[in-house]
Amino acid sequence: MNLYGLTLEKLEKYFENIGEKKFKATQVFEWIYQKREEKIENFSNIKKEIRNRLEEDFKMELPEIIKRETDVLVEKFLFCLSDSEKIEAVLMRHDYGLSVCVSSQVGCNMGCKFCESGRLKKVRNLETYEMVGQILAIEKEIKERISRVVIMGIGEPLDNYENVMNFIKIINHPKGIAIGSRHITLSTCGIIPKIKLLSDFPLQINLALSLHAPNDELRSKIMPINKAYPLMEVMETIKEYIKKTNRRVTIEYILLKEINDQMSHAKELAKLLKGMNVYVNLIPYNETNHIEFKKSTKSTINAFYETLQKEKINVTVRREFGKNISAACGQLRSKEV
Ligand code: SAH
């Protein structure tokens, strides 16, 4: 097992099981996440025999960064995992600090037509330690601390529920990486049963829904998952989620030229969202070499934005990052496989 994959609770259980006091778990957490010690033998306030036992039971391995692409405010990292699979993460520099977009799976099975990640099917889920490792490896590489995490990289996080939740617990824990729950965002294409589960998750993280179309017909065309979890049912689930958690939900909407970016779509979207505690993040599409979709023009994006505003829907247009590098979700990896 990898030590980076254990929540504090699990580590406490481990110590209890080997007949030790559970506060040792906190000491270990402090070594790995606060002092960033990478060798168990250097956990100096822990008895030698316990360190030996830990070394027998655990590995401490971070994913290896094999490529780093740099643009003005954004960098992409390609990682090689221990089974040689590749994943990527993106670092963004905002005025308010550094945020990282992490991957949750190797590939993705959701099959969204516009998405580069979905072109390559899911190979496997990421283990918790491989998600924690993306953050630790980037921090080590750049020698700076990350203050926000978005789970919006390759993969569908709610299709890897348990590992992703444990990842969130570890990065959020005050004795761990200590990223506040309000600084953690999980993005999903709309896996209804898992959104329901998430509404009972004790940490108040942000939820983002990749909507991308205002009606079933169009959504099913570009997002096959809509056939399993249709739009109206997803919206009902989101309403329940908001009621239960009292949290505002982000609605992501990629603007695809002449597909979902017309005034009529904006009006339909406004109607769909009316009265809900949501805000819409309009995403200028990142074109890729392999996929036929095009980015909407600036004036169409503006008109869409203004239509939503006029309808009193909270809306922002996502800033574009990394135009000079392989910015589209999954693009760096897909060049390598
Ligand atoms: N599976 C999750 C999280 C990963 S995708 C989800 O669907 O939300 C993260 C976001 O990036 C989604 O909103 C996705 O639709 C969007 N995305 C995918 N490819 C993109 C591209 N080429 N340009 C802009 N956004 C893209």
Please tell me whether residues 229 and 302 are part of one structural domain.
Answer: yes
Which tens digit of pLDDT belongs to each residue from 234-293? Answer: 999 999 999 999 999 999 999 999 999 999 999 999 999 999 999 999 999 998 877 789
Residue that finishes a domain, picked among 57, 80, 101: 57
Q: Which residue has the higher pLDDT, 328 or 79?
A: 79
Q: Measured in angstroms, how far is the CA atom of residue 329 from the centroid of ligand 1?
A: 6
Q: Using a pLDDT cut of 90, give the percent of the chain over it.
A: 90
Please tell me whether residues 155 and 223 are part of one structural domain.
Answer: yes
CATH number for the domain harbouring residue 305: 3.20.20.70
User: Which of 166-180, 188-202, 235-249, 282-296 bottoms out in mean pLDDT, i.e. has the lowest?
Assistant: 282-296
Report the chain's terminal Cα–Cα distance, integer Å: 27
Over 80: is that where the pLDDT of 198 sits? yes
Over 70: is that where the pLDDT of 160 sits? yes
Over 80: is that where the pLDDT of 68 sits? yes
Is residue 58 within 8 Å of residue 1, measured between CB atoms? yes
Interhelix angle 161-172/128-142, rounded to 10 degrees, is 40
**Residue 19, phi-psi category: left (phi > 0), alpha (psi -120 to 50), beta (remainder):** left
Please tell me whether residues 53 and 124 are part of one structural domain.
Answer: no
Predicted confidence at residue 331, as pLDDT, reads: 66
Predicted confidence at residue 328, as pLDDT, reads: 60
Predicted confidence at residue 289, as pLDDT, reads: 76
d(CA 123, CA 160): 12
User: Which residues are tagged catalytic?
Assistant: 88, 329
Over 70: is that where the pLDDT of 175 sits? yes
* Nearest-CA residue for atom 9 of ligand 1: 152
Pocket lining: 88 vs ligand 1, CB cutoff 6 Å? no
Over 90: is that where the pLDDT of 114 sits? yes
* Nearest-CA residue for atom 7 of ligand 1: 189
Over 80: is that where the pLDDT of 323 sits? no
Pocket lining: 187 vs ligand 1, CB cutoff 6 Å? yes
Please tell me whether residues 42 and 177 are part of one structural domain.
Answer: no
Please tell me whether residues 278 and 162 are part of one structural domain.
Answer: yes
Over 90: is that where the pLDDT of 320 sits? no
CA 23 to chain centre: 31
Is residue 57 within 8 Å of residue 78, measured between CB atoms? no
- List the beta bridge partners of residue 23: none
Q: Residue 335's pLDDT band (boundaries 50, 70, 90)?
A: low
Please tell me whether residues 231 and 309 are part of one structural domain.
Answer: yes
Token pair in block for residue 66: 């094999």
Predicted confidence at residue 78, as pLDDT, reads: 96
Which phi and psi angles does 29 have, rounded to 5°?
A: -55, -40
Residue that finishes a domain, picked among 18, 39, 57: 57
32: domain range? Answer: 3-57
Q: Give me the number of domains the chain comprises.
A: 2
Predicted confidence at residue 327, as pLDDT, reads: 58
Pocket lining: 328 vs ligand 1, CB cutoff 6 Å? yes
Please tell me whether residues 52 and 19 are part of one structural domain.
Answer: yes
Predicted confidence at residue 62, as pLDDT, reads: 96
Predicted confidence at residue 318, as pLDDT, reads: 87
Over 90: is that where the pLDDT of 307 sits? yes
Over 70: is that where the pLDDT of 231 sits? yes
3 state SS of 100: strand
Pocket lining: 32 vs ligand 1, CB cutoff 6 Å? no
Pocket lining: 135 vs ligand 1, CB cutoff 6 Å? no
Which phi and psi angles does 21 have, rounded to 5°?
A: -70, 145
Over 70: is that where the pLDDT of 326 sits? no
Q: Measured in angstroms, how far is the CA atom of residue 136 from the centroid of ligand 1?
A: 23
Over 90: is that where the pLDDT of 71 sits? no
For range 12-30, the mean pLDDT: 97
User: Which of 105-119, 155-169, 303-317 bottoms out in mean pLDDT, i.e. has the lowest?
Assistant: 105-119
Is residue 108 within 8 Å of residue 117, measured between CB atoms? yes
Please tell me whether residues 22 and 97 are part of one structural domain.
Answer: no
Predicted confidence at residue 93, as pLDDT, reads: 94
Is residue 301 within 8 Å of residue 282, measured between CB atoms? yes
Tell me what the pLDDT averaged over the chain comes to: 94
Q: Residue 34's pLDDT band (boundaries 50, 70, 90)?
A: very high
* Nearest-CA residue for atom 14 of ligand 1: 210
3 state SS of 303: helix
Please tell me whether residues 141 and 88 are part of one structural domain.
Answer: yes
Q: Identify the residue whose tokens are 């630790």.
A: 136
